[in-house]
Amino acid sequence: MSRHSPETPLRHLTEEPYYQPVGNELAVFMAAWQRRLPVMLKGPTGCGKTRFLEHMAWRLKRPLVTVACHEDLTSSDLVGRFLIEGDETIWQDGPLTRAVREGAICYLDEIVEARTDTTVVIHPLTDHRRHLPIDKLGTEISAHPDFLLVISYNPGYQTVLKDLKPSTKQRFVGMNFSYPPAELEQSIVARESGLAVEQAGKLVQAAAKARNLKDQGLQEVTSTRALIYAATLMAAGLAPMEAVAAAIISPQTDDPELGAALEEIFQSFL
Ligand code: ADP
């Protein structure tokens, strides 16, 4: 039986991913890395968690394997499976196994979305054992010294039915992320979109106000990512409110009243 792993994307980041530190996140992550403690990046969608990790992978010169978890993702998708090729049976490593073998940083984005059997396979990787059981091969492998497990977790999404078990969460060093403070967010939005800083500032100010609508029934508030999209459309020549409608309001709510409330807020700043 041969083994191959051609499909798992393992990224070597050769150019610095732009990341603007907000607090002590670099120091916390470096300390966790030095002791190879698994890390949980906690925070709403679009606030910089993925970019932060890309930046850290670049700094540490480690390859990065990212898995966007979804409700059909099983432990086999992470660990690997047998494939039939002609009359040969081939074992194919999943992304987690590949990261464990090769000493990559493995990022399980929104792990809570995945099937619960996925959390079972990561447990032995999160403590002193640093082992990955591969049931289908009847074996377990020891993690490469440079392997690091990182998960992301959006506390706003969780329901009683879908949440990480406290015992799982406690296996990780937790790092809280939120939207960057206004001044930083302004420079991030301007830099990422190419829009003038002053215009970017208006979007950021409006977003700060719009984020208060969370209590009015919005499931998701305006993310830094959404602001960057709106700014990118504006930089491409779209009128500001058209850009806001397309990049912020439409994706964020289907409710006409909430949409109108958002529109009013952005209109008053732009
Ligand atoms: P998340 O993983 O939290 O959903 P991302 O990391 O994809 O969000 O962030 C969305 C976008 O916001 C990024 O592509 C990046 O352009 C920008 N961004 C957010 N925070 C920062 C930051 N601190 N420094 C640089 N860019 C940031």
Q: Residue of the nearest CA to atom 27 in ligand 1?
A: 48
Summary mean pLDDT of the chain = 93
What confidence score (pLDDT) does residue 158 get?
Answer: 61
- Residue 4 confidence (pLDDT): 55
3-state secondary structure of 107: strand
Amino acid letter, residue 256: P
How large is the average pLDDT for residues 194-216? 94
Mean pLDDT of the region 142-159: 89
Which residue has 């619960």 as its token pair?
Answer: 116
Q: To test the ligand 1 pocket, which listed residue (39, 188, 229) has its Cβ within 8 A of the most ligand atoms?
A: 188
Q: How far away, in angstroms, is 195 Cα from ligand 1 center?
A: 16
Inform me whether the pLDDT recorded for 168 exceeds 90: no
Dist CA 218 CA 237 (whole Å): 29
Q: Is the pLDDT of residue 178 over 70?
A: yes
For residue 231, the CA-to-ligand 1 centroid distance in Å is 14
Query: The complex's ipTM?
Result: 0.99
Per-residue model confidence (pLDDT) at position 116: 84
Output the pLDDT for position 120. Answer: 87
More confident residue, 199 or 112: 199
**Mean pLDDT, range 16-32, rounded to an integer:** 98
Confidence (pLDDT) at 135? 94
CA of residue 160 to ligand 1 center, whole Å: 28
pTM of the model: 0.93
Residue 41 pLDDT greater than 70, yes or no? yes
The closest of 125, 163, 169 to 147, measured between CA atoms, is: 125
Question: What are 42's strand-pairing partners?
Answer: 153, 176
For residue 218, how many other CB atoms are within 10 A of its CB?
18
pLDDT for residue 56 is more than 70: yes
Mean pLDDT of 37-59: 96
Q: What CA–CA distance (Å, rounded) separates 62 from 157?
A: 30
Cβ neighbours of residue 123 under 8 Å, at least 6 residues apart? 168, 171
pLDDT tier at 7, thresholds 50, 70, 90: low
In this structure, whether the domain defined by 22-174 belongs to CATH 3.40.50.300 is answered with yes
Question: Can you tell me the mean pLDDT for 79-100?
Answer: 95
Ligand 1 centroid vs 128 CA: distance in angstroms? 32
Which residues is 81 bridged to in the sheet?
A: 92
Ligand 1 binding pocket, CB closer than 6 Å: 18-20, 22, 45-51, 180, 188, 192, 224-225, 228
Ligand 1 centroid, distance to 219 Cα (angstroms): 19
Helix residue ranges, H only, 103-222: 116-126, 166-169, 182-193, 197-210
Domain coordinates of the chain in residue numbers? 22-174, 180-269
Taking the CA of residue 203 as centre, how many other CA atoms within 13 Å lie in the half-sphere pointing to its CB? 38
Strand order across the 39-42 sheet: 64-68, 105-109, 148-153, 39-42, 173-176
- Which atom of ligand 1 lies closest to the CA of 53? 6
Contact yes or no for 119/108 (Cβ under 8 A): no
